[in-house]
Structure 1
Amino acid sequence: MRFDLPWRKKQSSEPLASPAMVNQTKASAAARGIAWQGSGAFSLAARDTSSLTRLGYLGNPVGFRAVRMVIEAAAALPLVVQDAAQRYESHPLLSLISRPNAAQTRQDFFESLFGHLMLSGNAYVEAVSTTEGWPAELHLLRPDRMTIVPGPDGWPQAYDYTVGGRKHRFACEDGRAAVLHLKNFHPQDDHYGLAPLQAAALSLDVHSAASHWSKGLLDNAARPSGALVWAGTDGQGSLSDDQFRRLSEEVEANFQGARNAGRPMVLEGGLDWKPMGFSPSDMEFQKTKEAAAREIALAFGVPPMLLGLPGDTAYSNYQEANRAFYRLTVVPLVTRIAAGLSEWISGYGNEIIELKPDLDQVSALSEERERQWQRVSAADFLSQTEKRKLLGLPPLPEGELDG
């Protein structure tokens, strides 16, 4: 039985149509070794995605904001469709990505796609179609529910998607995957990608521990206020267990917490109050937290200056940091994912097309692009075709002169 997502229209149980492909016998020389290592068993992710998401996204403001900045900027980047001959103003692929499915807009779809990559290192896209040709809808599948099934040659032969005890298998037929698996580079995993959260796991622990420490200070009048010292009376050298327990309970009930801040303490005979201040190590604790926050931001490719984190001197101003954010993080991410999507979807339409970001419409890169256009336009030794190629444009249409 075919597993249907809640919002999906009822579809046929037949597999998706795919273009005819020539059988090939080529294979990697290392494929057998990979297959032997996996032995045909399920290849499980090395990290618990759910735990990392709770720690680094749901429970950490720096991780949350860094992820939001990347996925919002990447999803908003304009995309164009072109082939070797022209750039299209109207195309089935443009219509598909402008409304991937009935439940998601273009922005929602791509935010979720890039979010999966940021949080788990993997993203899975399913194409749904009732007829041959371009897919009618695109759906995202949650990475924490997906399991890759390696085949005898080491490559994935199926993808198992499990929800509420029900499992649906997406088979890879005729050398083509039923779903598109987009992933980050992982040097030690053949099947799953590396999430930025994994690289920032230690910094997340440090930052979260520092936040809990600060919360503990607030719960205790926001400072290590002091100590009650028992001087002893009537020959009694120390407090009995009952006396110590009663004193601790009274201090906790009457003098700890924000509502009791500054409340005067009445001491019984034999008790003396010794005030305490911050030690040098306590004073360095906040700096440790700030350093951990910068490391979290850097793991996601976000300049700390854009998050308002102190101590970042890598860029002279906000505009320069924002330009570096787009050039070094957003554009490479969108370019890679757009290339993977276009290569995969091209097979359904039997047409080689290219999906790429339109950098001329990115305001953060406007000055940089303007300088590039001026340099290329002033190069008299280049033909029009060469200039267009340098600017990422297709060649001139047939019949137009190439000067």
Structure 2
Amino acid sequence: MAFWNGWAGKLFGRSVARDYVARLDRPNLFWPQTSWVDWLSGSQDAYEVAYGNPVAARCADMIGQAVAQLPVEVWRDGQRLEAHPLLAVLNQRANGEDSAGQVKYGLAVLMATYGQAYLRGVRVTAGLSEIYVHGRKGFEARRDRHGVLSGYEFRRENGGPVVFPNEADGWCEVRRIIRQRPNLRDKAASPVEMAGRSIEENNAVRNYAKGQFEHQGRRPAVVVVDKDSTLEPDQIREERVRLSQQMKDDATRRLPTFLAGTLSYQELGASSSDMQAMDLRNATAREICFGLGVPPVLLGIAGDSTFNNQAEARAGFARDTVRPLCGFIAGELTAWLQPVAPGVEIRFDYSADAASAADEAVRWERAARGVGLSINEKRRLVGFGPVGDEGDVVLVAGSEVPLGVKVEGTQ
């Protein structure tokens, strides 16, 4: 029995020691993060992912603000209508809770994050009385056995589903605006999902910098037990407590510390200077801006030289991001409202955006330098009407003479 107890005690103690050493030698992740596959598969909300990153959140907000400040126009047969029931809903008061600007802002932000949004409108004669914007949560497209869209279904949290069917004239109270993927009809091309890897990397760099700040510049560390250690588990725990207390008391300790009793303290990873965290943060921030369609210059991100100044960046943002998005939304609204207001066309007024101001400045410069043009031709070039027959004259510089003419008073 004594032999059995001694042999079992040695075996049990050796297994415990080996397990304890293994757990000490296996360091844990210092800053745990959600894996990319988890939120890419839909476990996380695209807007929440963008909202959790300051660069992505600011890009989405800039797109929403740019779209919200543009007025909506109603056209029919090539003429802009000054009075129409749709103008009050699309430019003034969208519903009892939201203004038209808020609805346009929400629609643009959802398109910039999800790549899709849902509009719900209350139908009246020749227009809408109210219009609402919703995210994709709770909505589901319904199709018949041939795969043709027959309406939408909204699943409430407390209650049964609400069905919005297609009526006989083609009208449906709900309209989904979606940037479809070419290979998947019901899957949206989400800009946040495209820039998701850069968002994850940018958050990782920010978390690393935050950890450095909270731990006074010290890097993650582990306590390693040597192979020939004779310490008991209780002694190891006491050393760990003493080490933790020592690091708390001395906030300036940065170098590895070797303790007595075959325990060693080792830092893990590289320093912030080795990783060049600031350069990596700016690089990932530029990738996020490129994915969402916002020039990095507008966010004050260093290292970007795509545009010469803020004016060029704002004009490029309006021309390459805001206008295509507005044109896409206007086309969807036009198709949706045909059963309500046949023959109307929805457009956005771009006359006040940055791209229009830049184009106008270019036209004025071209008109001023237009040699051989009459006054009326220059006025038509910048958008003004003629001033009469006296404007058909061509003005030239008085100091310019032909090459073969000899000027009096010269040799």
**Greater relative contact order (CA < 8 Å, ≥ 6 in sequence):** 1
CA offset digits 1:209-251 (Å, max 9, x no partner): 222222222232223398889999xxx8565433333333333
Change (3 A) 1:245 1:345: same
2:345 and 2:224 mapped to 1: Cα distance?
Answer: 76
Change (3 A) 1:86 1:275: closer
TM-score (norm 2): 0.69
1:83 aligns with 2:76: yes
SS in 1 for 2:45: helix
The aligned runs of 1:201-350 (5 Å cut-off) are: 201-224=196-219, 237=229, 239-256=231-248, 261-262=251-252, 278=270, 282-350=274-342
1:121 aligns with 2:115: yes
Matched AA of 1:99: R
How many residues end up aligned between the 2 structures?
Answer: 333
Paired residues of 2:209 and 2:277 also in contact (CA < 8 A):
no
Show the counterpart of 1:171: 165
Deviation, 1:65, is 0.9
Show the counterpart of 2:129: 136
Show the counterpart of 2:386: none
SS in 2 for 1:143: coil
SS in 1 for 2:107: helix
Paired residues of 1:359 and 1:369 also in contact (CA < 8 A):
no
SS in 2 for 1:185: coil
1:353 to 344, 359, 368: 344
Matched AA of 2:46: L
Paired residues of 1:360 and 1:369 also in contact (CA < 8 A):
no
Change (3 A) 1:280 1:144: closer
Paired residues of 1:99 and 1:106 also in contact (CA < 8 A):
yes
Deviation, 1:373, is 7.9
2:78 and 2:320 mapped to 1: Cα distance?
Answer: 29
Matched AA of 1:114: A
Paired residues of 1:74 and 1:334 also in contact (CA < 8 A):
yes
Paired residues of 1:100 and 1:137 also in contact (CA < 8 A):
yes
Paired residues of 1:127 and 1:137 also in contact (CA < 8 A):
yes
1:108 and 1:65 mapped to 2: Cα distance?
Answer: 17
Change (3 A) 1:169 1:261: same
Change (3 A) 1:133 1:280: closer
2:190 to 177, 189, 195: 195
Deviating more after overlay: 207-216 vs 196-205: 207-216
2:95 to 85, 101, 104: 101
1:118 and 1:208 mapped to 2: Cα distance?
Answer: 19
Paired residues of 1:157 and 1:171 also in contact (CA < 8 A):
yes
1:367 aligns with 2:362: no
Change (3 A) 1:274 1:198: closer
1:110 and 1:247 mapped to 2: Cα distance?
Answer: 61
1:153 and 1:373 mapped to 2: Cα distance?
Answer: 56
SS in 2 for 1:136: strand
2:254 and 2:106 mapped to 1: Cα distance?
Answer: 54
SS in 1 for 2:205: helix
Alignment RMSD (CA, Å): 3.8
Flag structure 1 segments of 5+ consecutive residues without an equivalent: 1-45, 392-403
Matched AA of 2:50: G
Change (3 A) 1:71 1:162: same
Deviation, 1:113, is 1.0
1:149 and 1:53 mapped to 2: Cα distance?
Answer: 25
Paired residues of 1:200 and 1:296 also in contact (CA < 8 A):
yes
2:154 to 151, 161, 168: 161
Show the counterpart of 2:48: 54
* Greater radius of gyration (CA): 2
Show the counterpart of 1:185: 180
Change (3 A) 1:162 1:276: closer
SS in 2 for 1:82: strand
Deviating more after overlay: 223-232 vs 142-151: 223-232
1:49 and 1:94 mapped to 2: Cα distance?
Answer: 39
Paired residues of 2:121 and 2:132 also in contact (CA < 8 A):
yes
Deviation, 1:290, is 2.6
Flag structure 2 segments of 5+ consecutive residues without an equivalent: 1-39, 384-411
Deviation, 1:342, is 2.7
CA offset digits 1:255-310 (Å, max 9, x no partner): 25xx9633799997568888999459842344333322211111110111212222
SS in 1 for 2:127: coil
Change (3 A) 1:296 1:122: same
2:231 and 2:210 mapped to 1: Cα distance?
Answer: 30
2:259 and 2:282 mapped to 1: Cα distance?
Answer: 43
